A and B are shown apart, each in its own frame.
Chain A
Amino acid sequence: MEVEVVGTDPYGDAAYKALFEGIIGDIGKTFMIEGAKLVLKPEVPLFIFSVVLRNVPGGKTISNVASLRQEREDLHMSISEERYAPDVLAQLWKRYGRSMVEQQTRFDLIVHGGKAEEIESIPISSGETAIKEILGAVWRALPEGIRNRETLIDDRVVTVVATEETMKPEFLEEARTMHDRMVEDARRHKDV
């Protein structure tokens, strides 16, 4: 994750870079983020945080993150993407109960009485949740008094513009310009 900071206060720029990286690391979403640009103008005050995601977050089902094999009444499952293992287990426990889900190893499970056609389409993560978590992290990284916020989302770029009192049209315009440039860069980068 590359973070670029454009600001007017050298100490604050370095501190906010560390803070942003720390908070994104705390919520465990570093892998989702390709880069970010932070514009910090504490004297105004105006803060623009623009985050470029690696992919447009989409929904995931169990079949996306695990391979399934039906053997008579039981379904054997092998989880291939470790970070979704807790979500897979949580969904299976919710639907079949803990006694019916036998965990042989960290990634190998048997669901007694489970049907492949039923289990493969169980959703375990939605794109909306991922965006919400990233927005939450950005809000947490912003200074606490900076409560007047607007959010722009296009493709895989999420931009938050925030100020303390009135959100002036020029603030929004600056954020929109930066957001459009980030979207353009992200598209170009993807094409290359």
Chain B
Amino acid sequence: MFEVVKYDGGVYRSAELFEAIEDVGGTVLHQLRSAQMLTVTMSIPEEDHGVLESISKEIGGDLRSVPLAGTEIAVVGCTLGRHHMPHPICDIAEVLREGGAISVVMGLARGRGKNTSQISKREIEVLDEYDAVIFMLGNFKPCVETKRFLIEDITAPVILVSGPMPDGMDDCCEAIVAGVGRKCERMKSAEERAKLAEIGSTVNKVIAERKRQLEEDPLYIHPAELKQLLETYEPIDMCLRPAPIVLHLDGLRVKIPYKEHKDYFDNLMVYGRRLSEIADITESKLQDSSTLIRIRTTSQIEDADRKKQQ
């Protein structure tokens, strides 16, 4: 079994780490260099954890497991205004990043107000691209309960975070974490840190459940494997955007435009099949400069094969 771990340390002697990852047959999922600091998220065989750990210690870094690695999670507030956006949303996004997820913070265009808030179809489609959505609502119970419609049409798993515990919202989201409302400062007290840890563990549970569902009918190819194939394509290799390829539980987000690279994506050969046969490739709804690849499951592909033979 492969496990996903994260290295936090300096750039010094990092070549030794990359060499060791390659030697044990692991894959680098994501790496981020900031000045002299380096963060590498990697997938390695479980039995080689000790080898990588000792190398990390030797070069002055730290290796820890990251249960949310390989996921992209959106943290959504009612708006991007200073009333809704600041501290709790940023703190939650930070907790997700510590867990290894790529976190994206966004606000609705017209989400404010009790009677006037709205969510558009396009916003729902954008949120559905993520592995999970953390939806942050406010301090008043009637307002939170009125805003049920904001989350009930989202297909991606939603974790509702609000101040009071709302009634009658269990059926429109995967989990509810109460006790975090609108705040005007960082969540730094002991209780608040505990609440953030609770949010982290709730997200872990939701993602673990989604992984379990995927294991029942596995994907034709693991997203990390497909990432390795895509990395050799020059426009992706040359892409200057941070994290040009982002792993999802059931696919990838590739940050080059689909329109311009349609031929490459459609005809990339994966285990003897074209990528377009084993995955749904679409332009991202968030921005047309990204491509969204959703890998089909083995049963879907077998079903398609059977239909072709008939």
Contacts and interface: CB of A to CB of B under 8 A. Distances in A.
Contacts, number: 73
User: Do most interface residues of chain B lie in helix, strand or loop, or is the interface mixed?
Assistant: loop
17 contacts: A9-B141, A9-B142, A11-B163, A11-B164, A15-B183, A18-B183, A19-B184, A22-B184, A22-B185, A40-B140, A143-B113, A144-B81, A144-B83, A145-B112, A146-B113, A164-B114, A165-B115
Interface string A36-63: 0000101101000000000000000000
A15 to B, nearest CB: 4
Interface string B88-119: 00000000000000000000000011111100
B82 interface: yes
Query: Looking at chain A, what size class is its interface with the partner chain?
Result: 20 to 34
B108 to A, nearest CB: 11
Contacts of B83: 140, 143-144
Contacts of A43: 142
Given A11-B181, A12-B164, A19-B184, A144 B112 contact: yes
B114 to A, nearest CB: 5
Interface of B: 78-79, 81-84, 112-117, 138-143, 163-164, 181-185
A16 interface: yes
Nearest to B183: A19
Nearest to A8: B142
Which residue, A15, A23, A43, has most C-beta atoms of chain B within 10 A?
A15
A83 to B, nearest CB: 21
Contacts of B181: 11-12, 15
Contacts of A165: 115-116
B141 A145 contact: no
A26 interface: yes
B116 A19 contact: no
A144 B139 contact: no
